[in-house]
Structure 1
Amino acid sequence: MRHATHDHLVYVSTLNTTGILAVNRPKALNSLNLAMVETITNALDAWRDDDSIHRVVITSTSEKAFCAGGDVRAAREGILAGNSDAVDQYFNEEYEMNAALSAFPKPIVAVIDGIVMGGGLGISMHGSHRVITEHATAAMPEMLIGFIPDVGSTYMLPRMAGPGGTPSLAVAQFITLTGYRMSAADMLYSGLATDFVASSDVMAFIDMVVAESLDEALEHYAGPRPTDSWMKTHRDAIEEVFGEQEFATIIDNLNRCDDHEFVTTVRELIESANPTSLVAATLLTAANATVSSVRHALDNEFVVAATLIRSPNFAEGVRAVLVDKTRDATFSPATVAEVDPAPFHELLSTN
């Protein structure tokens, strides 16, 4: 080991030619706060042009979670305290970190052995390799808290393709709008995950990455991939319903869909969602499916995010899901039909 630092929230170390980031906030399921974002960004800045660092591994000290998202509870507290500018700063710095990960010139290997949601996807999906285990699950549950999918997900997801075939706006919209919790098989099928290693082999896999090479570690430890993907089973319905620019059209398609199991599942997933978030997120993902860079997509996400966090729906949604955990949010407008999409059209840029 060349050197290591420990700041309690992220372990930063270099071992041989590998930079290692281990997120370490287990009681909060590794939710990213500003200090964690700054630590990760500073490490990337130090390693970017360091010829002795050939790759970066991002992992977790938690047995339950890789990273459950950004610290939206703290964001809610900031909004309620009237510190919206400070909350904007948090999101801006998080998105700068996402951009830095996307532009990093060396392999980044995220090792996901547990829950990954929201901002956790932001520190994993932009890298070259997303290595998961059978314990991995992924979701974008932002609709339930009055927010939108962000951290570059609305750029990356429409461009990902696994064994499921070509990149698909419909698959991206399904993931971002429903908050469906993807299994390991779903993650591999959609392209969200690139490689599979058994949970029992994770530490040995990382050790071989460090001691030998990424290619050798993948060749040695890659296990049989799970194939029981619910998304694969219902892919035709996903394409039929979700490949749209407007959420109202998605609902029309859902009403006509003959896959009753799929329809029931989708209705259950979106039943407690914020209608404004559903409308905004559909427009955002459709717009960012066409932009030419992650940076442009993050800018679009930021302007929509800054608008939504100032709405009472955000504080209400975070309260119901993460503070009181009652899941009884009351959103306004209460229905999708009452939401005016025009302000979000005006915010988004595709040029």
Structure 2
Amino acid sequence: MKNMKEVMIEEINHIGIIKLNRIKALNALSLSMINDIKKALLAWENDPEIYMIYMSSLSETAFCAGGDVKKLYQHTITDDLDYVSTYLSNQYAMDYIIHTYSKPIITYVNGYIFGGGVGLAMGAKFFITSEHTKYGMPETQIGFFPDVGASYFLNKLPNQIGRYIGLLGQTLDYKDLIYLGIADYHILASNWHSIVDILYKKKWIKDDISNQLDHIFRTYNEIDEHKSDIEKHETHIDHIFSHDTIREILDHITLSDGYAKDISQKMLKLSPTALNITLELLKKGEGKDLLLCLKMEHDLSLSVVQTHDFKEGVRSLLVDKDKAFNWNPSSYKKIKIKDIKEIFKTLKEVKSHPIDKILEARNG
């Protein structure tokens, strides 16, 4: 095994193995982690002796809690936007490589998977949950927006569930992920060691890897007959989030409805600016391919990290940890839609994008 500090890289039985190892930070992705993962993926994609990739975590509680937001914040408050662009373009390029990888990627998610961690898992051929999986895109809680391709993959979910996940930052469990088709299999943590043993010892047929893996995972797949929370409330969710603006969503919520009232109370605590940016982003992502969405998110990020609400959100939740959010504007009723649209006017389609430059290494 090669110890790459925050990421463990090894090769066993034709499998390229990536294990996240920044345990104290719940595997929040540092730039060096992103670069190590990207480098390994690019090397293995052209290696005829590697048939598949297996990605997991050495933490017992988290697969990956997200991107290294505190580091982005530290560079932002010193006006170092070059670092922000470098970090995000490399992260998004890594996510794109995973989504479009030519060999099967297995991602076993045991524990928390938030934000940037979702970017690692969403593109895997086999996204596998345990009973401990907790999934979320909680960026609006820090005055940011769901990224890592969320403007693409959240729009692939039925009805208005993508808006529900992206705006509210709601935590989903394995039942939700299986129901929505985000995850492919549910395998108990106590059984995963048996899967790993098979992966490391099986005699693989190179031209039939996906079918062989599918058979293994189906054998251990646990079926839960209980309805997921989203399945129970899907009609509610669709009705609430079908409106065109945040103001319309909140103004049309019937407070006599307990479920809707709970959603309203949660949304009112979040950054009004971030909520509006997120909704506008999801609308702009409709019909776009993944690479275009990632480029749009990268360019939008460079504007949003400079806003008061991003700096205040990170300060309050992750730095000072006082949770005394002082959003500005403080209410969704004070938001001017023209100001939100102005943020998006800075996005320009250019022939050469930082993400393209990183992906050139993949294309030789």
- Does the TM-score normalized on the shorter chain lie above 0.5? yes
Q: Deviations over 1:182-227 (max 9, x none)?
A: 1211121222211100111122212323433412320321112363
1:127: how far off?
A: 1.2
1:156: how far off?
A: 1.0
Q: Deviations over 1:147-183 (max 9, x none)?
A: 11000122112214xxxxxx33x10000010011112
Partner in structure 2 of residue 221 of structure 1? 220
Q: How does 1:150-299 map to 2 (within 5 A)?
A: 150-160=147-157, 167-168=158-159, 170-212=160-202, 213-225=212-224, 227-253=226-252, 255-256=253-254, 260-291=257-288, 293-299=289-295
Evaluate the alpha carbon distance shift between residue 93 and residue 219 of structure 1 in structure 2; reply closer, same or farther with a 3 A threshold.
same
Evaluate the alpha carbon distance shift between residue 320 and residue 66 of structure 1 in structure 2; reply closer, same or farther with a 3 A threshold.
same
2:342 aligned with 1:346: no
Partner in structure 2 of residue 93 of structure 1? 90
Q: How does 1:308-319 map to 2 (within 5 A)?
A: 308-319=304-315
Structure with higher Rg: it is 2
1:277: how far off?
A: 0.6
The amino acid across from 2:332 in the alignment is V
Partner in structure 2 of residue 321 of structure 1? 317
2:17 aligned with 1:27: no
Aligned mate of 1:148, from 145, 148, 156: 145
The amino acid across from 2:240 in the alignment is V
1:329: how far off?
A: 1.2
* Kept in 2: contact 1:288–1:297 (CA 8 A): yes
> What residue ranges of structure 1 are gaps of 5+ in the alignment?
161-166
Evaluate the alpha carbon distance shift between residue 283 and residue 226 of structure 1 in structure 2; reply closer, same or farther with a 3 A threshold.
farther
Evaluate the alpha carbon distance shift between residue 262 and residue 285 of structure 1 in structure 2; reply closer, same or farther with a 3 A threshold.
same
Evaluate the alpha carbon distance shift between residue 75 and residue 66 of structure 1 in structure 2; reply closer, same or farther with a 3 A threshold.
same
The amino acid across from 2:193 in the alignment is M
User: What CA distance in whole angstroms lies between the structure 1 residues aligned with 2:226 and 2:297?
Assistant: 33
Evaluate the alpha carbon distance shift between residue 214 and residue 129 of structure 1 in structure 2; reply closer, same or farther with a 3 A threshold.
same
User: What CA distance in whole angstroms lies between the structure 2 residues aligned with 1:13 and 1:22?
Assistant: 9
1:122: how far off?
A: 0.5
* Kept in 2: contact 1:67–1:116 (CA 8 A): yes
* Kept in 2: contact 1:66–1:113 (CA 8 A): yes
1:245: how far off?
A: 4.2
* 1:111 counterpart SS class: strand
TM-score (norm. length: structure 2): 0.88
Partner in structure 2 of residue 163 of structure 1? none
User: What CA distance in whole angstroms lies between the structure 2 residues aligned with 1:40 and 1:215?
Assistant: 24
Partner in structure 1 of residue 129 of structure 2? 132
2:301 aligned with 1:305: yes
2:77 aligned with 1:80: yes
Which shifted more, 182-191 or 217-226? Answer: 217-226
Evaluate the alpha carbon distance shift between residue 101 and residue 66 of structure 1 in structure 2; reply closer, same or farther with a 3 A threshold.
same
Evaluate the alpha carbon distance shift between residue 86 and residue 310 of structure 1 in structure 2; reply closer, same or farther with a 3 A threshold.
same
> What residue ranges of structure 2 are gaps of 5+ in the alignment?
203-211, 350-364
* Kept in 2: contact 1:92–1:302 (CA 8 A): yes
Q: Deviations over 1:29-60 (max 9, x none)?
A: 10001000000100110011222212111100
Evaluate the alpha carbon distance shift between residue 261 and residue 202 of structure 1 in structure 2; reply closer, same or farther with a 3 A threshold.
farther
User: What CA distance in whole angstroms lies between the structure 2 residues aligned with 1:15 and 1:223?
Assistant: 27
Aligned residues, how many?
338
User: What CA distance in whole angstroms lies between the structure 2 residues aligned with 1:237 and 1:349?
Assistant: 37
User: What CA distance in whole angstroms lies between the structure 1 residues aligned with 2:221 and 2:250?
Assistant: 40
Partner in structure 1 of residue 208 of structure 2? none
**Fraction of identical pairs, as percent:** 28
* Kept in 2: contact 1:287–1:348 (CA 8 A): no
* Kept in 1: contact 2:254–2:260 (CA 8 A): no
* 1:341 counterpart SS class: helix
TM-score (norm. length: structure 1): 0.91
User: What CA distance in whole angstroms lies between the structure 1 residues aligned with 2:326 and 2:269?
Assistant: 9
* Kept in 1: contact 2:145–2:274 (CA 8 A): yes
* Kept in 2: contact 1:117–1:139 (CA 8 A): yes
* 2:122 counterpart SS class: coil
User: What CA distance in whole angstroms lies between the structure 2 residues aligned with 1:195 and 1:226?
Assistant: 14
What RMSD, in angstroms, separates the aligned Cα atoms of the two structures? 1.9
